[in-house]
Chain A
């Protein structure tokens, strides 16, 4: 469990982020947030199913270029929070603002355009099983009726990013679980979204494949500086993201100098419907909250 052992003593290096690249394929309604404006704002959001509250009074922000890792035990409502972030679910109360637009008050029809600027990687990949990998990854491009050559080029590029360009004509059923997850990442990034939501991207995978997936998440974070929300219950994945960086030159994940963490990777933790922690890696490992201490131990 890299990073956890070095409890306390983290130094936060100052890193200047370059401006994010323009986003082809993003919905026109999704006006880019101002540099200092958070891309996602949750204000006192609550949601429940039946009589049980799943999330109560949850507030947090995701800033541009920031990677927020959401921790919590299974069934605590992490995926619900992620689905609220792109409007797949609506809160019972509270406000959710994405790219400056209050999505909790938008009609479903209007949300489709906004979602074009958000990439989502679902827990099990959620690939369309009747479509080939090419058509899965290029789904949005096909919907936009881009020329076939352009689609193939961009899909191949996205698949190269996840090192699966040889699977273009395969169907999801012909791929392993890890490969499906990588294809799902390629599908999420093919339109260069401004925000990526990862729902337990390593859930149910073996440690080696999990590391490969985390490396891809890191690569996306460090190469394109896309804002992201990573939902996970696996501490090793979370701390790997916080304590490593992706080297473009070496095409590999490298550990940050000892006691240093990525300044743009921060943590949140859910417990019993409440957000009980929102802060840096250092603050997390130094937290005196008994639940957090137990979770980290």
Chain B
């Protein structure tokens, strides 16, 4: 009995992975096929990118500030409070900026994608679209994936910048540090590998959160309850996979660049 349950669960899991890979593959291949839904792409870029600006700016700013406050106290114990800028910029660019921005955008947009597409599934709008001769993967999924990857890239850069700025303001105004020194150490200690790591991550994270959001949306079953379930699963699964992928990227980058 237990063996049968494990067997069924394993098959279900393997099927889900296969379906996810198929959806992602077909949606990606659609980028290079006509028709190209440019208007839908711009609309999604606006919703995902511009719409996420307030949360990304606010979280970035306060995280940078909190990081400066927490780290300066510890650094001061070793007489290294002057390196607060370096620690904040390292942390923001390599780790906190990409991961937190992806998690925030995931909470806002992976859930949005899952609920929107899920609602369309349960009200037969997706079937209607297919019946009208339109490929929903091309019209609905592809623009969301491309828009998320592009916009998360820029949102992460913005979050990094705002976070460093927030850390700077806290260092100068609350911790009494020298502003010039803060920004000087923050900038000078950065190397090419750090920037690459910070910019590669949002590309992967954007792809993950958009494909997971669309995948759970497109496989919604069971009415409004199903939509709720898909929405929750989209956020939870994309968040976990983002953090797991972050670990893999860090290891890979250390392997390539040695830092």
Which A residues form the contact surface with B (CB < 8 A)?
Answer: 27, 83, 86, 88, 108-109, 112-113, 115-116, 118, 120, 122-124, 126-129, 139-140, 143, 187
Closest B residue by C-beta to A119: B131
Find chain A residues with CB under 8 A from B129 CB.
128
Question: How far is A122 from B121 in the complex, measured between Cα atoms in Å?
Answer: 13
A27, A83, A113, A143: which has the most chain B beta carbons within 10 Å?
A: A143
Q: How far is the CB of A175 from chain B (nearest CB, A)?
A: 14
Residue from A109, A124, A139 in contact with B123 in the complex, judged by beta carbons closer than 8 Å: A124
Asked whether A120 lies within 8 Å of B35 as measured between CB atoms, the reply is no
Q: Which of B84-92, B132-140, B153-161, B227-235 contacts A (4 or more CB under 8 A)?
A: B132-140
Q: How far is the CB of B160 from chain A (nearest CB, A)?
A: 34
Asked whether A124 lies within 8 Å of B134 as measured between CB atoms, the reply is no
What 17 additional pairs, Cβ within 8 angstroms, besides A88-B127, A124-B123, A140-B133?
A86-B131, A88-B130, A88-B131, A108-B135, A109-B135, A112-B133, A115-B130, A115-B133, A116-B132, A122-B124, A122-B127, A122-B128, A126-B127, A126-B128, A127-B125, A128-B128, A187-B132
Find chain A residues with CB under 8 A from B135 CB.
108-109, 112
Q: How far is the CB of B120 from chain A (nearest CB, A)?
A: 8
Instruction: Say whether chain A's binding surface is mostly helix, strand, loop, or mixed.
Output: mixed
Closest B residue by C-beta to A128: B125
Find chain B residues with CB under 8 A from A123 CB.
124
Residue from B124, B130, B132 in contact with A139 in the complex, judged by beta carbons closer than 8 Å: B132
Given contacts A126-B123, A129-B123, is CB(A112)–CB(B128) below 8 Å? no
Asked whether B131 lies within 8 Å of A118 as measured between CB atoms, the reply is yes
Find chain B residues with CB under 8 A from A143 CB.
35, 132-134
Question: How far is A116 from B35 in the complex, measured between Cα atoms in Å?
Answer: 15
Q: Please, what's the 1-or-0 string for B132-168, where 1 marks a CB less than 8 Å from any CB in chain A?
A: 1111000000000000000000000000000000000
Question: How far is A116 from B131 in the complex, measured between Cα atoms in Å?
Answer: 8
**3 tightest A-B contacts by CB?**
A126-B128, A126-B124, A120-B131
Q: Which of B31-45 contact A (CB under 8 A)?
A: 35
* Interface footprint category on B: 10 to 19
Asked whether A124 lies within 8 Å of B124 as measured between CB atoms, the reply is yes
B125, B130, B133, B135: which has the most chain A beta carbons within 10 Å?
A: B133
Asked whether B132 lies within 8 Å of A140 as measured between CB atoms, the reply is yes
Q: How far is the CB of A28 from chain B (nearest CB, A)?
A: 12
Question: How far is A128 from B139 in the complex, measured between Cα atoms in Å?
Answer: 13
Find chain A residues with CB under 8 A from B125 CB.
126-129
A123, A126, A187: which has the most chain B beta carbons within 10 Å?
A: A126
Asked whether B131 lies within 8 Å of A115 as measured between CB atoms, the reply is yes
B35, B124, B127, B128: which has the most chain A beta carbons within 10 Å?
A: B128
Asked whether A115 lies within 8 Å of B127 as measured between CB atoms, the reply is no
Find chain B residues with CB under 8 A from A118 CB.
131
Q: How far is the CB of A113 from chain B (nearest CB, A)?
A: 7
Find chain A residues with CB under 8 A from B128 CB.
120, 122, 126-128
Residue from B123, B127, B130 in contact with A112 in the complex, judged by beta carbons closer than 8 Å: B130
Question: How far is A116 from B125 in the complex, measured between Cα atoms in Å?
Answer: 16
Q: How far is the CB of B249 from chain A (nearest CB, A)?
A: 33
Q: How far is the CB of B47 from chain A (nearest CB, A)?
A: 12
Q: How far is the CB of B14 from chain A (nearest CB, A)?
A: 18
Find chain A residues with CB under 8 A from B131 CB.
86, 88, 115, 118, 120, 122
Question: How far is A127 from B131 in the complex, measured between Cα atoms in Å?
Answer: 12
Question: How far is A120 from B130 in the complex, measured between Cα atoms in Å?
Answer: 10
Q: Which of B14-32 contact A (CB under 8 A)?
A: none
Q: How far is the CB of B40 from chain A (nearest CB, A)?
A: 12
Question: How far is A126 from B129 in the complex, measured between Cα atoms in Å?
Answer: 9
Question: How far is A108 from B132 in the complex, measured between Cα atoms in Å?
Answer: 13
Question: How far is A128 from B129 in the complex, measured between Cα atoms in Å?
Answer: 9
Find chain B residues with CB under 8 A from A129 CB.
123, 125
Find chain B residues with CB under 8 A from A120 CB.
128, 131-132
Asked whether A113 lies within 8 Å of B124 as measured between CB atoms, the reply is no
Question: How far is A112 from B130 in the complex, measured between Cα atoms in Å?
Answer: 7
Asked whether B124 lies within 8 Å of A115 as measured between CB atoms, the reply is no
Q: How far is the CB of A226 from chain B (nearest CB, A)?
A: 16
Question: How far is A118 from B129 in the complex, measured between Cα atoms in Å?
Answer: 12
Find chain B residues with CB under 8 A from A113 CB.
133
Q: Please, what's the 1-or-0 string for B90-134, where 1 marks a CB less than 8 Å from any CB in chain A?
A: 000000000000000000000000000000000111011111111
Question: How far is A83 from B127 in the complex, measured between Cα atoms in Å?
Answer: 9
Please list 6 pairs of residues, one from A and one from B, whose beta carbons are closer than 8 Å in the complex, sorted by A's number.
A27-B133, A109-B135, A123-B124, A124-B123, A126-B128, A129-B123
Q: How far is the CB of A146 from chain B (nearest CB, A)?
A: 14
Q: How far is the CB of A124 from chain B (nearest CB, A)?
A: 7
Question: How far is A124 from B127 in the complex, measured between Cα atoms in Å?
Answer: 12
Closest A residue by C-beta to B124: A126
